[in-house]
Structure 1
Amino acid sequence: MDRIPICKEGYEKITQELADLKAQRPAIIQAIKEAREEGDLSENAGYDAARERQGMLEARITYINSRMPLFDVLDLNKLDGERATFGATVEVEDIDTDEKRTFLLLGPDDADHKNGSISVLSPMGQALLGKEVGDEAIVDAPRGRIEYEILSVDFNGSASLKIK
């Protein structure tokens, strides 16, 4: 598998999540132990719930551990350029509706569309990659083909993580 881009702040966040998940293990093991002591496991909802929680926790830990060696950690404060790439804040305008939107291009593990960041691997991210001011980006969306004009490409470093 290829390297996975992630910003320094995103890497720190996922590293903290992994530590938090691992810290939950003893409590889940204790809950399973206590549920076992209640007797018949075939009708023990507490035991089933604790085992399910343990399974989800271990799956997430395994997933994060499998991705950690693939991360290419990038410092947003050291990125710049004229073209839309990882770490760029791109302002676009929908050619049909004149609606303006701003996106921060990040990796799949640190992008958060609720905060205005999108993955460089998403359809919108892929359409924006490599574009400069004045270029058009075409996105095939569920509602149909959308054409955007690139209004600006900026590299604001870590400050760009606060866009909405």
Structure 2
Amino acid sequence: MSKVSYITEEGLKRLREELVQLESIERPKISKQIAEARDKGDLSENAEYDAAKEAQGLLEMKIAKLKETIAGSRLIDESKLDTSKVQIMNKVKIKNLKNDAVMTYTIVSESEADLKAGKISISTPIAKGLLGKKVGEKVDITVPSGIMPFEILEISL
């Protein structure tokens, strides 16, 4: 049974494009490498053949994982999003009460997470700790380095 993950239309489109790229371009490229290595003779001592077969296995595993992710994806209806409390697809402005640093994150599905773009996965400790909270609430979140106190300053779309 595949895990259900919530995703935006843009995120699902990106996953499907990656799958097409892997299946229609990368897969034939590796098949060609295997055929060329096979044509060079003795397969028992052919490092090129072994490397190409290993690359093929890794590619097939990646394709299978991507298909599973797409199959388990559920589109988020962005028109039904609410900013009264923190939920997926909300942009949340929080203040670290230890050092007064203010950060803004958008909570997204695992496949759309990109820390450089300010998008954190819903499965991270910070996102889990913020879910369901409201503006003005203070929350202690357990992170790998200990417990961090945060205050929710703003929730937006």
Structure 1: 4+ residue segments shifted above 6 A:
none
Which residue number corresponds to residue 152 of structure 1? 154
Residue 146 of structure 2 corresponds to residue 128 of structure 1 = no
The alpha-carbon deviation at position 4 of structure 1 amounts to 1.0
Distance 2:84 2:10 in 1: 23
Residue 69 of structure 2 corresponds to residue 61 of structure 1 = no
Which residue number corresponds to residue 83 of structure 1? 85
Partner AA of 1:55 in structure 2: G
The alpha-carbon deviation at position 124 of structure 1 amounts to 0.9
| The one of 26, 29, 32 aligned to 1:30 | 32
Give the TM-score normalised by structure 2.
0.92
- Confirm or deny: 8 A CA contact 1:8 1:76 kept in the other structure: no
**1:127-152 Cα shifts (integer Å, max 9, x gaps):** 01011110122221122100100000
Give the TM-score normalised by structure 1.
0.88
Which residue number corresponds to residue 46 of structure 1? 48
Distance 1:2 1:48 in 2: 33
Q: Secondary structure at the match of 1:101?
A: strand
Distance 2:50 2:83 in 1: 53
Which residue number corresponds to residue 21 of structure 2? 20
Q: Cα–Cα, structure 1 residues 42 and 114, in superposed 2: closer, same or farther, change >3 Å?
A: farther
- Confirm or deny: 8 A CA contact 1:84 1:128 kept in the other structure: yes
- Structure 2, unaligned runs of 5 or more: none
Distance 2:70 2:133 in 1: 29
Which residue number corresponds to residue 4 of structure 1? 5
* Aligned residue pair count: 155
- Confirm or deny: 8 A CA contact 1:91 1:101 kept in the other structure: yes
Bigger shift: 101-110 or 34-43? Answer: 34-43
Q: Secondary structure at the match of 2:132?
A: coil
The alpha-carbon deviation at position 10 of structure 1 amounts to 0.8
Which residue number corresponds to residue 101 of structure 1? 103
- Confirm or deny: 8 A CA contact 1:84 1:131 kept in the other structure: yes
